Every structure is written in C-alpha cells, then in structure tokens.
Amino acid sequence: MNSIFSKIKSGLTRTRSNLVDGITKAVSGKTRIDEETLEEIEERLIAADVGVNTTLDIISALRENLQLRDRNDSQAVLNCLKSELIERLQMNGSADTASNQKPYIIMVVGVNGVGKTTSIGKLANHFVQDGKRVVLGAADTFRAAASEQLEIWASRANVEIVRNKPGADPASVAFDAVAAAESRSADIAIIDTAGRLHTKSNLMEELKKIQRAIDRKMPGAPHEVLLVIDATTGQNGLTQAKVFNDAVKIGGIVLTKLDGTAKGGIVVAIQEQLRVPIRFIGVGEQMDDLQPFVPEEYVEALFS
C-alpha cells in the first residue's frame, strides 16, 4: 500500500505544488481567514480545474464550517478543505470494477491520444495481478497500429487477445472476443474501440453497434463502459465525457496522465458534473502505474 501511495503522491507533485502550497501560502501568517484569503483559495481551486460551480460550493462550505477560532489556523483550513474534497469524491463511490459476473465484459471508449490502448494493457495487468484470467478484444480496427499496440500490451500483461485484419467490422471482433472469453472460461474481457471516425456522430453510432453486438452474444453485457480521459485536457475532457455518456452510458472513468498536469482537481469536477465514479488513475508510465482510485488516498496524497 505504501508503494501505491508513494506513486500517487509522486504523480500529484505538480498539482500539490500549485494548489496546496499556494493555499498554504495564502493562509499562513494571517491573523484571520478573511474574504480576501477565501478569494485566493477560490482562485487556486479554479486553476486546478476543480470547476467554477464546485469551487464556489467548497468556498461556501469553508465559510460556514470554519469556526471563528479556526480562522487563524492554516491547518484547520486545510483539514476543512480536505474533508470537503473527500466528501465530494465519495458521492458516487469508486466500487471495484469486475463483479461476480463471469466473464465480466468491459468496453473501453475514448478519443485517440488519451492513452486508451495503454490503459487497457495496464488494466489487464492489474486484473492478472489479482489472479484473473483476461481476454482482450482489438475492436479498434480502423487503425492498424491500434491492434498491433494492443497485441504488444497483451504480451506484456501475459493475456490472450482476439484480433482481426485491419478494416474488419469492429462489432464482429467484439462479438468474437466475448465468445472467446466465454469458451476459455476467462474472468474478464476488455474490448478496445475506435477513438476517431470521420465524424463524431459516425463514431458514436459505431460504438452503439459494438455495444449491441456484445449484448447479442451475452445478454446484459457489456457490464461496464469505461471512458478514458486525459487529465491534461482539463475541462475539455468533461465535454468529451458528456458526448460519450449520451451515446453509450458511461459506468466509470479512467483518468490518465495525472503525473503530467498541475490540474489534478479535475477529478472533483468529473464527480460533481458527471455523477460517474472514477475507477482508475494513471500516475506514470510503468505497467503498474494505473491504480484504483480511492478518494481518501487521493486527497491525502495531494495534501501530504
């Protein structure tokens, strides 16, 4: 657990430097936490991509919950802020992906460039380390490199992969991957999908088609649709999420590249605006740098 915590803490260095250090500096030396100080805290939260409405709610809560005697205590302010962030991140839970359903079918979506295929490989490794048998489905057939990349990750994670030739029907590959997972008594099947077609509507229709094909092979599947978002895109990632959610009903978020941004507050904005739990966060380039998201650990790593 300590190694996991240290990875998350290391990945959040830039966010911590901009957000927490800035707030600490704003509070330190003040005889009283006045409105000017609260405005400084507000600016730091918005800069970290927490989101304007969420930030205003947090500031309002700070104003109400801080006792008068605490208003000259920087640690009391930080503790109150930590409590507010944890409470918001817990609202939608972060339940474990992969229920008792076997095979548990996960469909992974997201635009090109967010780290989708890499995340699938790391996700497969995570489940393998947990003793699960995993099958990958290379249903992003529009890019020849996508299937090849996924095959490399399958080899690294030591899992099986179902793929077809470039240009093959993505829905049929997804169908075959579910069939293979069933016949091979796999615990989990993770289906990769395209991140870009000629138009946005074109992509969403393709994803719906894949979803229908999976359901046709295994009624009720996919059991979860995970959306991969690049944390460095900030609020643009939220816009992407809303479009995907309208098309295929997102069940969870995989947030990548948190180690490369000073805007780790995006996790709060996602929970508040989408009401969709964050399942995993990417805090580095190594195979085990995709970690389950635990709100308390995340906030503690941010403030420690």
Query: Taking a C-beta distance cutoff of 8 angstroms, is the pair 232, 223 a contact?
Result: no
**Given this model, what pLDDT does residue 100 score?**
75
**Given this model, what pLDDT does residue 212 score?**
97
Between CA 225 and CA 190 the distance in angstroms is: 10
**Given this model, what pLDDT does residue 8 score?**
76
The torsion region of residue 81 among left (phi > 0), alpha (psi -120 to 50) and beta comes to: alpha
Query: Taking a C-beta distance cutoff of 8 angstroms, is the pair 302, 140 a contact?
Result: no
**Given this model, what pLDDT does residue 3 score?**
64
**Given this model, what pLDDT does residue 113 score?**
86
**Given this model, what pLDDT does residue 181 score?**
97
**Given this model, what pLDDT does residue 68 score?**
53
**Given this model, what pLDDT does residue 197 score?**
65
**Given this model, what pLDDT does residue 69 score?**
52
Question: Which tens digits make up the pLDDT trace of 128-149?
Answer: 999 999 999 999 998 878 899 9
Query: Taking a C-beta distance cutoff of 8 angstroms, is the pair 163, 151 a contact?
Result: yes
**Given this model, what pLDDT does residue 13 score?**
80
- Residues (pLDDT < 70) of the chain are 1-4, 30-32, 67-73, 92-99, 197-199, 262
Alpha-carbon Rg for the chain in angstroms: 21
Between CA 264 and CA 12 the distance in angstroms is: 7
Between CA 35 and CA 30 the distance in angstroms is: 12
